[in-house]
Amino acid sequence: MAIRTILHYPDKRLRTPSATVTDFGDTFQALVEDMAETMYAAPGVGLAAPQIGVAQRLFVIDIAGADEPSDLRVFVNPRILEATGELCWEEGCLSFPGVTEEIDRAERVTVRAQDRHGKTYELEAEGLLAIAIQHENDHLDGKLMVDHVGMLKRRMIDRAMRKRAAEANA
């Protein structure tokens, strides 16, 4: 297992749509382990493969509280089948360090995905889990948190992140 580097906006790879996972072999299993370790080290509640530069339809989520046992969930080739209700949630993103924004999402979702071994399952989720599923699923399509805010906020976040990237590269 290894901690991978998380890409930060405005890295163009974050906009790349992901490919369907077809090989669930050892290399893929190592990727899942690396993603979990990277997410926990960040720390975060979710991480999509594109955020570490891997354009595959895979994300991991663990919304367990600090005083609760780990509840790692692996979503491979996910598809949101149904989204109902509306909820505004203050979201952050590991690819946007220090940025949080209120984002409107569906309150409940039904998702069909495969587990890390390729077995298909369906899950109904609400609250934070539903929010995390929608957020991470967006990453698989090259859609980012800033795509859910107004133009003024988007410009402010874009400027701040580009300034951060320039300072990091200086």
Residues noted as catalytic: 136
The 3-state secondary structure of the chain reads CCCCCCCCCCCHHHHCCCECCCCCCHHHHHHHHHHHHHHHHCCCCEEEHHHHCCCECEEEECCCCCCCCCCCEEEEEEEEEEEECCEEEEEECCCCCCCEEEEEECCEEEEEEECCCCCEEEEEEEHHHHHHHHHHHHHHCCCCHHHHCCHHHHHHHHHHHHHHHHHHHC
